Structure 1
Amino acid sequence: MATVTKDNMFRSKSATETKKAADRGAHSIVDHEAAVRDAKTARLRLARLAKEAADKEAAVNTPVAPRPVRKRAAPAARPGSKRAS
């Protein structure tokens, strides 16, 4: 073990060294968050594409029921016409 003296025990860091250490820490946090975000985006994209493919396949295999035909209602009589009575 090295001899402990006041010079090597309480070495003060310069401002640039402290700033660089803080920058490295911040960059590592930001890079980690970006990696997590990108992984989540890729996972959700794959899930969405799988769901869209399953929905499309289900739509193709499901028969379409014909729409019921509705009878047209008789036109309403206008006031003052012969039909109104």
Structure 2
Amino acid sequence: MSKKITRDNLFKPTRSESKSATTDNAARNILDTETSRREAKTARLKEARLAKEAADREKSLAEPTAKVAKVKKRTKPE
């Protein structure tokens, strides 16, 4: 029986692309993918944080502030 044909063994690398170059390209692709996912997540979380802070700020401005009662000092009876 012959080997099962897969995308990895169907085409042989060209002469200019050695095993180390193939490995390097694969590693760079993985790192680029991880970097883009991380940056997208960071941007999404930053946007959510800024929206929450804006909502909290509006809420605090809309609520009336509590007045602090003044305490009168008692004088000692003579």
Residues 21, 66 of structure 1: CA spacing in aligned structure 2 closer, same or farther, 3 A cutoff? same
Gaps of 5+ in 2: 1-11
Q: How many residues align?
A: 62
Paired position in structure 2 for 1:65: 66
> 1:60: Cα distance to partner?
0.8
Structure with max Cα Rg: 1
> 1:67: Cα distance to partner?
1.4
Paired position in structure 2 for 1:37: 38
Q: TM (normalized to structure 2)?
A: 0.67
Q: TM (normalized to structure 1)?
A: 0.62
3-state DSSP of counterpart to 1:33: helix
> 1:73: Cα distance to partner?
8.4
Residues 72, 51 of structure 1: CA spacing in aligned structure 2 closer, same or farther, 3 A cutoff? same
Gaps of 5+ in 1: 1-10, 75-85
> 1:69: Cα distance to partner?
2.3
Identity in percent:
40
Q: Tell me whether 1:23 sits opposite 2:24 in the alignment.
A: yes
How far apart, in 2, do the equivalents of 1:44 and 1:62 lie? 27
How far apart, in 2, do the equivalents of 1:72 and 1:46 lie? 51
Runs of 4+ in 1 over 3 A off after TM superposition: 70-74
How far apart, in 2, do the equivalents of 1:45 and 1:73 lie? 53
